[in-house]
Amino acid sequence: MEIHMRQLRYFVAVAEELSFTRAAQRLHVAQQGLSAQIRQLEKALDLVLFTRTTRSVELTEAGAALLEGVRSALTTLEMAVEGARVAQRRESDRLVLGYLEGAALTLTEPILAAFRAQHPGVTVDMRQFTYGEPAAGLESGTVDVAFVRLPFCAAGIRFEPLFAEPLVALVPAAHRLAELPEVRVRDLLDEPLLGAATTDPEWNAFWELHDHRDGRPAPVVSRSSSLLEELHKVSVGVGVVLTVASARWMPFPRVRVLPVADAPHNQVTVGWRVDHETPLVRSFVDIARRVRDANPDLVARLEQPDLDDCTLPQHL
């Protein structure tokens, strides 16, 4: 059977009015069109729903039986549609933002401030992730957009670069390298290394300097889920760790921060799923891009930081 919602609504109107004229007026349709729709419904159902005379319209027994079920079905459907509309409004009023430690550093606050100014009715739900999930919820689909660091395995995810942060080595204060003004990658290759608690091969390859090891495995002695965990381990001599320059904003007893002169910089980006590019996601990415471009001095300080300055910056 091919039955349309319009036909069922027309049927209910005629059944309640017991008049094609009044039903047509109630529905704001032509009486001829209404009559045609009822005939099509009767044909589809193979039922006679109304007894028609020149003076009256009456429900048949079959029509009366159908009326009760149709009313219930229409009410259920209308409730379901309204529930879906409420869910859609709720979804459009909420943006889930994933991030790793530090988020987008000093760009985080101006990006969020600009987004809230443009979307005052939208709630931004921020969710922090550990090293165990470098995609910060994008891969699992639990967030709409995320501040993430590259590289990691990222099928179906797009990125908008924000800045590239230089790398540093964290070493124990009593380490043989601790008093040097800076180190080079070759100085770290034989050191016991603290890796990240993730199985993502691209993430591990970058932070463990795989491109500099000529195929030799990195001497990883322990894996950590956060920068704070790494700092604790470095401070007691478990190993050294390669991380980003903003780690200096978490000064820790018995830990030295050493610039790595020839290490690649780490790219901080906004990421989002290609299959979930909603209007809110597009707006967030566009705002992040505009804030980045409007703050070249701020970006420059992130990309070329004063590594002797451990002062926590404003708007972190």
pLDDT tens column, 82-113: 777 666 655 568 999 999 999 999 999 999 99
Q: Supply the Cα-derived Rg of the chain in whole angstroms.
A: 32
At 248-261, the pLDDT tens digits run 988 889 999 999 99
The pLDDT, as a whole number, for residue 3 is: 81
Q: What is the mean pLDDT of residues 111-137?
A: 95
Q: Per-residue pLDDT for 22 more than 50?
A: yes
Q: Per-residue pLDDT for 78 more than 80?
A: yes
The pLDDT, as a whole number, for residue 86 is: 60
Residue type, 307: L
Q: What is the mean pLDDT of residues 117-125?
A: 93
65-79, 261-275, 290-304, range with the lowest pLDDT = 65-79
How far apart, in whole angstroms, are the C-alpha atoms of residue 192 and residue 173?
15
The pLDDT, as a whole number, for residue 315 is: 42
The pLDDT, as a whole number, for residue 251 is: 82
The 10 Å Cβ neighbour count of residue 217 is 8
If you search the block for the tokens 């809230």, which residue do you land on?
116
Confidence band of 306 (pLDDT split at 50, 70, 90):
confident
User: 227 and 286 in contact (C-beta within 8 Å)?
Assistant: no
Distances (CA, A) of 312 to 88, 254, 307: 40, 19, 12
The pLDDT, as a whole number, for residue 263 is: 95
Percent of the chain with pLDDT over 90: 80
Nearest to 171 by CA among 260, 285, 96: 260
The pLDDT, as a whole number, for residue 1 is: 64
Q: What is the mean pLDDT of residues 216-231?
A: 94
Q: What's the mean per-residue pLDDT of the chain? A: 91
pTM of the predicted protein model: 0.70
